[in-house]
Amino acid sequence: MSSENTRALRNCLAQFATGVTVITCLDANGKPVGVTANSFSSLSLDPPLVLWSIVTKSSSRAAFESFGYFAVNILSERQQDLAMVFSKPSDNRFAQVDTTTGIQGLPLIEGSLAQFECKVKQEIEQGDHVIMIGEVLAFRQQDHAAVNRGNKKSASPASRTPLLFSQGHFAQLVPTPIEKEPVSPVSDAVAEQEQGAAFYEDYLPYLLARAADGSTGYFHSRLKHFGLTMLSWRVMACLSDGMAWTVNDLSRVSLAKQPTVSKLLDRLEAQRLIKRNTDALDARKVMVTLTKLGLQKITPVIRDARDYNESLAQQFKDGELERLKGMLRHLIEQRSAVL
């Protein structure tokens, strides 16, 4: 085939969008090896087989053929930088990548959407590629709350959206509303209900709720490690400033009703984490403060929260985060004025 036809064929094949993976193994010296590949595909469920292909002239080919095992790491949209790292020649591709160890010592990239640990069943050389068929021995999906996209310089909440490759470029998955046939005015009310997806995707409370869930899910799961509930974290975090708070103020800031907060304070007081005193100027007011034991308990949690907050901040470009915070504060003030 002429070079012109080869380019035309490549451009035509590029119209087919694929996912992006990093395939890993170990070389003869036990050193991790990894290559970016978008040729990964499922071959069979029974038995469980997958395949991918590597260029015959690749410097990594020998390692994959001799080791006998390989791991497939399916990348998320936030791992584009990793795809680039493993697509270029380098002797130190894993320097800035967090990995865990799988079967036979296989390097598994942290933050990947899914991972498959495979034993090589067959190698088929055809044209300028070698097709590697592997039997799946173990597999897993990334935990929704997992953190670290696989780059040590930028640990951030793992995305659930796959990284795509199409027409020679990385791409993102964008849901497209399903077009519906025109309806008569009589059916407008029904049509609005049927078009719920289009509505909620533009519904501000829904967007705020999704954003909150996505940005806090990991840290809230960490609270269990510290033996705290979400409400106890909010209350104790408020008290960590060393000032005395009223139950009413704690209720407002912790987004919980006063009776619920009062019951929590009963439990925290029984654990000697907080103490309640009467306001010297108003005997009707009960003032709440942290005890020394309470401060010791909440301090490492706040440190963890600050680190997580920093990881979230790294997702924004210059000025974006402050603008977002300003808009949220404005919305909070507006709603507080209405209520």
pLDDT per residue over 66-118, tens digit each? 999 999 999 988 888 888 888 877 777 888 788 999 999 999 999 899 999 99
Which candidate, 58, 35, 61, 49, places its Cα nearest to that of 122? 49
Separation between Cα atoms, residue 333 and residue 339, nearest integer Å: 10
238 neighbors 253 (Cβ within 8 angstroms): yes
Average pLDDT over residues 208-212: 73
How distant is the alpha carbon of residue 144 from its chain centre?
7
Residue 201: predicted pLDDT: 58
Which candidate, 246, 307, 252, places its Cα nearest to that of 276? 246
Separation between Cα atoms, residue 99 and residue 71, nearest integer Å: 12
Which candidate, 79, 101, 107, places its Cα nearest to that of 20? 79
| Tens of pLDDT, residues 50-62 | 999 998 888 889 9
Residue 2: predicted pLDDT: 65
Residue 150: predicted pLDDT: 41
Burial class for 79, CB neighbours closer than 10 Å (0-12, 13-18, 19+):
buried
| Tens of pLDDT, residues 34-50 | 999 988 999 998 889 99
97 neighbors 47 (Cβ within 8 angstroms): no
Instruction: For Cα atoms 99, 103, 104, give the angle at the middle one, nearest 5 degrees.
Output: 100
Phi then psi dihedrals of residue 66, to 5 deg = -85, -30
160 neighbors 145 (Cβ within 8 angstroms): no
Lowest mean pLDDT, pick from 28-32, 269-273, 330-334: 330-334
The CA-to-CA distance between both ends of the chain, in Å, stands at 72
Which candidate, 265, 260, 217, 213, places its Cα nearest to that of 239? 265
With pLDDT > 90 as the criterion, what percentage of the chain qualifies? 31
Average pLDDT for the chain: 79
Comparing 224 with 145, the larger pLDDT belongs to 224
| Tens of pLDDT, residues 6-22 | 767 767 777 777 889 99
| Tens of pLDDT, residues 158-200 | 557 888 887 666 666 655 554 544 444 444 443 333 344 445 5
Residue 199: predicted pLDDT: 53
Residue type, 62: A
Residue 50: predicted pLDDT: 95
Residue 186: predicted pLDDT: 42
The pTM assigned to this predicted structure is 0.49
